[in-house]
Amino acid sequence: MKWTDGRLSIAIIGGGAAAVCLLDALAQASDLRGRVVVVEPSRKLWRGRPYQEDIHSVRVNIPPKGMSVRHGDTNHFSRWLADRSRNTLSDAIAEYDDPYCGVPFVPRTVYGEYLQQCAWEAITALRRRGLEVEIVRDTVETILRDDHRTMLWTRGGLTVDVDHAVLCIGRGAPPDNYRLDGAMGFVRDPYPLTTSLESIDPSADLAILGSGLTAMDVVLALAARDHRGRIRLLSRHGVLPAVRQRPVSYALQHFTADRFRAAAADGVSLTTKELVALMRAELIDAGEEPDAVAETVCTLQETDPVDRLRRELAAVDSKSIGLRILQQAVPETGPDVWPLITAREKTLLLRRYYRTAMSLCCPMPPSTAGTLLSLIDSGQLEVVSGVRSVKASGKGFAVEAGSRTYQAHAVVNAVNSSVSDIPSTAEPLVASLVGARLAQRHAHGGLAVERATSRLVHNREAVPGLFALGDLASGSLFFTFGLPSLVDRAHDIAEHITQGFHSRFQTKQPHFLQRI
């Protein structure tokens, strides 16, 4: 599969939310000619694992303005909701309002519809402008590159010759940390919940592995199915997602992406102490108390999870916006801050505060917290930390946590793959890139990439024509999996590709045309 000179050729490896963001960014770019090929083995294009067709009680955890795939247009998703319901924008959004805060949180399955439609609309727009778009149901296993071209080889024997290849590979299937696969009553992957929970008896005592947002989805699905048996959330640390407070409009003044991008351009490194000072200045200027925010961050993992859940649900409408500023800053500026920190300090921050950062910056909707507390107060749901082992035992499972042993009839695996892990299905591809000196593994996960363009890096040099978008870039950029980050990085990639295309292929007009 080859393209003629004078036209641009792009391969998108992966077909989930990251690929949708990139397709939309390319469709918004101007004057591109050539061809785009999307290589994805799954039959469930564009939705990814969390956004498949599923029950409506399971919601995204971000209001619509944070879920737009269109760069620079935060109302794109909201308008789509209005068009979908053939209603006014306010009425379309109000359908999903959270009763605790009045903020809409849309069902994951509805957001999956949005991703699908955005992908096909972007493809249609590209085709109308003369670009060929092809979808190949296959897996890329090898990539090599010469001075100007990138060659892809798929498992099915296809060879693809392109100018640019963008790795949009997600985390893949969840890990089986306790080696329970094949045991009767073990659910390896909870999505989609409509089918994964069908075989579980409503009266069964159930253990859920994990305590993050996926575990919250499982609890909500069980509640919607009127599950009557006991439910235990099992994890090593027992850290639950924070409860999202009512959003406020706030523009960062000190902890800004522009400040950190300027520092990067000047070759400046920043210490943790300097970053803390900037955040303190941000909080003080906003009229907040930095020490109160610091105490919340430093003690979060030692706080009783149910007590914290109760306090945070009661504080949904708090006038204090300190935590909301922090929650805004981490995903908004994380990809710009992270490259400026030394390797040693990155390791220390990840070791001490990674779970805290994920809890605070990936909060659950208040209504989810309300459901959890209702189940906890009724005695049906329990949060169990200090889990050491989970073993199939007779007709059920034995769980060792702390000094106690629990029994369960069934176990649902709600543990997500770490962003530092490379999916097993992508290992041959990553190995080929590393072996060809087109990429290097990052010490904190995924592959090393250049901040400004998301190009792969080898020996501190950006590799032309090869990019990573999403989870594979997490070690270099941090917090790359949120939709706003995917949208920003996809825009950076599309802009870099477009500029390169114009400089390479666009020629000056003849003199007689310039005079017209």
The pLDDT tens digits for 223-241 are 999 999 999 999 999 999 9
- The CATH architecture annotation of domain 8-46+139-173+419-505 reads 3-Layer(bba) Sandwich (3.50)
Q: What is the pLDDT of residue 149?
A: 85
**Strand ranges in 157-278 using DSSP code E only, listed in sequence order:** 159-162, 164-167, 186-187, 206-209, 231-234
In tens, the pLDDT along 302-321 reads: 899 999 999 999 999 999 99
Q: Is 151 helix (H, G, I), strand (E, B) or coil?
A: strand
CATH number, domain 186-234+365-413: 3.50.50.60
The residue that leads in pLDDT, 347 or 374, is 374
List Cα–Cα distances, 32 to 36, 62, 213, in angstroms.
Answer: 11, 33, 39
Mean pLDDT of 266-294: 93
> In the numeric block, which tokens belong to residue 187?
């659910």
Same fold, 8-46+139-173+419-505 and 186-234+365-413: yes
Mean pLDDT of 370-377: 97
pLDDT at 1 over 60: no
How many residues in total does the chain contain?
516
Question: Is residue 441 within 8 Å of 152, Cβ to Cβ?
Answer: no
Lowest mean pLDDT among 145-154, 236-245, 379-388, 432-441: 145-154
Nearest to 358 by CA among 310, 297, 439, 273: 297
Q: What is the pLDDT of residue 413?
A: 96
DSSP collapsed to 3 states, 90-101: HHHHHCCECCCC
Q: What is the pLDDT of residue 515?
A: 28
Per-position DSSP letters for 105-140, written without gaps between them: --BHHHHHHHHHHHHHHHHHHHHHTT-EEEEE-S-E
Percent of the chain surpassing pLDDT 90? 68
Nearest to 457 by CA among 481, 473, 478, 470: 473
> Could you tell me the sign of the dihedral formed by the alpha carbons of 178, 182, 186, 191, in that order?
positive
Nearest to 455 by CA among 475, 469, 471, 441: 469
Domain boundaries, the chain: 8-46+139-173+419-505, 186-234+365-413, 257-361
> Could you tell me the sign of the dihedral formed by the alpha carbons of 471, 350, 217, 108, in that order?
negative
Rounded to 5 degrees, φ, ψ at 210 are 110, 160
Q: Which residues of 45-56 are buried (b: 16+ CB within 10 A; e: fewer)?
A: bbbbbbbbebbe
Whole-structure pTM value? 0.90
Lowest mean pLDDT among 27-41, 203-217, 224-238, 284-298: 27-41
